[in-house]
Structure 1
Amino acid sequence: MAVTDTTDTTATAHLTRLIERLNEHGLHARVRVASCHSPALAVVNPDAPALSEIVYAAPQEGTWWYWWSWHEKIAPVAESDAVVRKIRHVLTPTGRSR
């Protein structure tokens, strides 16, 4: 699938909307846009900075999804609560409340 300017713009919009939700749950995030890569969201747990992840937004078969950096779906963009819950789980140190 060729990445277009429209796809990048839509992906950036979805990622930007997710930032506020992640911030509400104590995670820090920022959108990274580079001309040679798809837009990405860098997410970090400020209480454990070694725990970070890159999240992408991309369509598949007509539905926009958030994706992990290892090309696995997180959840559809319309399910922001599920997305935040899963990202928090991954970025929470073992032994702490997730």
Structure 2
Amino acid sequence: MAVEHTRTYFLGKLAAELERRGLTATLRADPPVLRVSDPDTALLAETVDCVPLPDGWFYRWSWGELVGQADEPVPAAERIIRVLSRR
């Protein structure tokens, strides 16, 4: 249960950063994942989760590529915004 709590904590921090930048971020509970979308373009959306790896916790795209370190949500949010704006 501690892993799920940590995962939810980090996803909540990322959600706050994304919402400050105008995106919609919805935390789903089971399993904890973040659904990120641009409210102006409903078709632009992505799912991000958070996983423990040997070097710490990391945000990860739905296809498995790492977004960034979970203890640094600002650069991760900026990367998500860049990727969503390219679609």
Which consecutive unaligned segments of at least 5 residues does structure 2 have?
A: none
Runs of 4+ with deviation above 6 angstroms: none
Higher share in helix:
2
- Please, which runs of 5 or more residues in structure 1 have no aligned partner? none
Q: Taking structure 1 as the reference length, what is the TM-score of the superposition?
A: 0.82
CA contact (8 A) 2:13 2:73 kept: no
| Correspondence 1:26 to 2:26 | no
Aligned length, in residue pairs: 87
Q: State the partner residue of 1:69.
A: 62
Could you tell me which amino acid in structure 1 is paired with residue 35 of structure 2?
Answer: A
Identity of aligned residues (%): 32
Matched, 1:11 2:7: yes
Structure that is richer in strand per residue: 2
Structure of greater relative contact order (alpha carbons < 8 Å, 6+ residues apart): 2
Cα RMSD (Å) of the superposition?
1.3
**Superposition TM-score, scaled by structure 2 size:** 0.92
Deviation (angstroms), 1:29: 0.4
1:84 corresponds to: 77
CA contact 1:66–1:77 (8 Å) conserved in 2: yes
